Amino acid sequence: MPKTEQDEMKMIRNFKMLKRYVIEERFDESSARPNEGVSVNIIKQDQISAEKFIDEIERISFATVSSTQVAIKTFRIDKGDKSANSLLTTYLSKLQEIVSKRNHQFRHTNIVEFLGVGTRDECKVFLVMPIANGGNLRDYLKANEKLSIDKKIKIVKGIASGIMKLHEEGITHENINPKNILIFDGIAKISNVPLQFEKPFGKVFRNREIYAYADLFDNIGYIDPNAFMNGNSGDYNKDKSTDIYSLGTLLWEVMSEKIPYQDESSDGGILGLIRKIKDGHREKADIPDITRFPAEYINLYTKCWNGDSAARPTIKEVYDKLDNII
């Protein structure tokens, strides 16, 4: 088989893997730290009222708990041959422990905290989180088209600050995109931070995000192009530079208020776009909505976009650059 055809087949296999990567929420199976967390509440099913699911598979819902509006994310666990009650008790306890540690470890203005955990049915557990009154970042930008440059830079500085906290704690988010950035009273907070479970719990607590297949195209610009080349073989190491690449795309979207590559949806389809990105294609830096912003801002996100992961800036360098722009 010619080398070009081999490369094409490899890219297609990698794309199938990446489709799973984009929609799957990962839980880190590395050893958890000693118990030093802030306890979260166990929420009973009868405490939940006015619940409304926003997806067809009933994993994401809005509800009221103790007069507070919350978001609830439900996970199904594989009970295998074990008693359902015994299994739920075990995993609820473990989930409460890990989430409490996570709240303590990642306590930060720009990271979403958990409010509680609970169980439902025979094989489901759930996480309770605050509702973002500004929605996700993409929806917020759409609803607030007249945001000033200063406010936009404040938003991206907050996101960079949250990522810096994660990286300081040795965590790579791996899925930075506008739908995982929630807005609370104008403040950006990172959501869906991977939880740390020691084995064997990590293999049980695996959940798929609510992205529809169509949303993959909207988020394709946030995936490190190195994953397109090496993801299927396991050669691709999703390290901190993965978040930097995604942050670069986020910096572009916040200023342009456009979905990356949305004008190229009919040019060869998604595989055609993947091929172009893999070969070094990036969004335009000279569109009118961006050229009015400081040149150092444009230089910053183009550095984050570098195909060579080792040449990308660190998150501290990104934050410091943003801090010096205003």
- CATH at 172: 1.10.510.10
Quick one: pLDDT band at residue 97, thresholds 50, 70, 90?
confident
| Structural domain for 311, as ranges | 137-325
pLDDT-above-70 percentage for the chain: 71
Predicted local confidence at residue 262, as pLDDT? 82
Other C-beta atoms within 10 Å of 323: how many? 12
98 plus 222 within the same structural domain: no
Q: Is residue 19 part of a domain?
A: no
179 plus 238 within the same structural domain: yes
Q: Is residue 258 part of a domain?
A: yes
Q: SS3 for 285?
A: coil
Domain count, the chain: 2
Alpha-carbon 105 to chain mean position: 18
Asked which of 111, 130, 149 is the last residue of a domain, the reply is 130
Which of the listed ranges 118-127, 154-163, 200-209, 233-242 does the model predict with the highest average pLDDT? 154-163
CB 114 within 8 A of CB 40: yes
Determine the average pLDDT of the residues in 158-165.
98
Q: Is residue 14 part of a domain?
A: no
Q: Is residue 254 part of a domain?
A: yes
List pLDDT tens digits, range 45-87: 899 999 998 876 668 899 999 889 999 988 877 655 455 566 6
145 plus 174 within the same structural domain: yes
CA-CA distance, 207 to 96, in Å (whole number)? 17
The sign of the torsion formed by the CA atoms of 310, 313, 316, 319 equals negative
At 108, which amino acid appears?
Answer: H
125 plus 150 within the same structural domain: no
256 plus 151 within the same structural domain: yes
Q: Which residues contact 96 (CB under 8 A, 6 or more apart)?
A: 39, 40, 42, 117
The residue count for the chain: 326
Q: Is residue 3 part of a domain?
A: no
153 plus 273 within the same structural domain: yes
CA-CA distance, 74 to 231, in Å (whole number)? 28
Determine the average pLDDT of the residues in 11-34.
43
Q: Where are the beta strands (DSSP E) in the chain?
A: 24-25, 41-42, 48-53, 60-65, 68-76, 116-120, 124-130, 181-184, 187-190, 207-208
CB 209 within 8 A of CB 281: no
CA distances (Å), origin 97, targets 89, 92, 94, 252, 274: 12, 9, 5, 38, 40
Nearest to 73 by CA among 102, 48, 103, 90: 48
List pLDDT tens digits, range 193-245: 887 665 555 544 544 443 334 456 678 899 998 887 654 544 556 789 999 99
CATH number of the domain to which 71 belongs? 3.30.200.20
